[in-house]
Amino acid sequence: MEAVSTALPDADSGEEAGTGELPETPTLGQVLLAVEELWPESLAEDWDEVGLVVGRPTASITKVLFAVDPTLEVIDEAIEWGAGLLITHHPLLLKGVNSVAATSAKGLAVHRLIEAGTGLLTVHTNGDSAVGGVSDVLADAMGLENVAPLTPASNGLPEEGIGRVGELPELMTLGDFAARVFEMLPAVAGGVRVAGDKDGLVRRVAVCGGAGDSLFDAVRASQADVYVTADMRHHPASEAREGAVNGRPYLIDVSHWASEWLWLPAAAEALGNVLADQGHEVEIRVSTTNSDPWDFILTPG
């Protein structure tokens, strides 16, 4: 995704339309307020660590890069582009640490960010749960209607929560639906794995971006015909197959990174709109780095 400016220029004066004032460069603190408006930290799961990891709230921000993972390659991309802020879905420091020495990968990441003056912000399960979040974007891409949370948020609106469940406009075979999922996601080595009758009919779909095999109770309660998520482990998937009723829910296992990457362009656009409405001018770009950890796969035949 190419960088886009949030400025709203007036055709005659070059000033921001409707205000008579030139757009301003926001501080990191002002960007944080915009992020909180879109993805409130109160929506994050209790075990999660979201929010500002590196950065001074008083720093001026002219460029923001969105990415799934705060890997060293992504951090280098942000620094080389001149981003003042890197917003990632996954946390860099989810578990407690007692050192950020540059002798470890995470310590080196912190050093590179600070030395370059690049902030790091995590929008994780709050980005999953919020309206327009990861699973909402997936549901939209699949063409689902009458969408509702798979597990409603305890501290949010009725339409907020982890995962989504909805209905396709018409019946599809599992094979055709799996092909739709495959085609809408970024290409990765692992592809898409499917469990179920290829010719079986599906209409009600449950989806959870990222690792979602802990949600099978909610999936069964939703009466979904098929469940799409990532990182399905052997035992939860096997038990779900054993306990299936008439073979359902069928399972579609996708790349963790790919399932969450789809959210990035939508998130970048949403943040750009909020900042523009507040009179700020920022360039926002989505990372071009594929941080899926797998390089190739061997299959029978």
Output DSSP code: residue 122.
E
Q: Name the residue with higher pLDDT: 15 or 160.
A: 160
82-136 confidence digits (pLDDT tens): 999 999 999 999 988 889 999 999 999 999 999 999 999 999 999 999 999 999 9
Q: Determine the pLDDT at residue 12.
A: 45
Burial track 210-227 (b if 16+ CB lie within 10 A, e otherwise): bebbebbebbbebebbbb
Residue 3 and residue 282: Cα distance in Å, rounded? Answer: 9
Q: Determine the pLDDT at residue 23.
A: 83
Structure confidence at residue 3 as a pLDDT band (50, 70, 90):
low
Q: Name the residue with higher pLDDT: 112 or 154.
A: 112
Which of these, 172, 168, 166, 169, lies nearest to 146 by C-alpha position?
Answer: 166
Q: Determine the pLDDT at residue 155.
A: 86
Q: Determine the pLDDT at residue 10.
A: 44
Report pTM: 0.91
The Cβ-side half-sphere exposure at 111, using a 13 Å CA radius, reads: 10
Structure tokens at 144: 């689902």
Q: Determine the pLDDT at residue 296.
A: 94
Does the structure show a pLDDT above 90 at 55? yes
Which residues contact residue 170 at a Cβ distance below 8 angstroms, ignoring those fewer than 6 apart? Answer: 203
Average pLDDT of the chain is 93
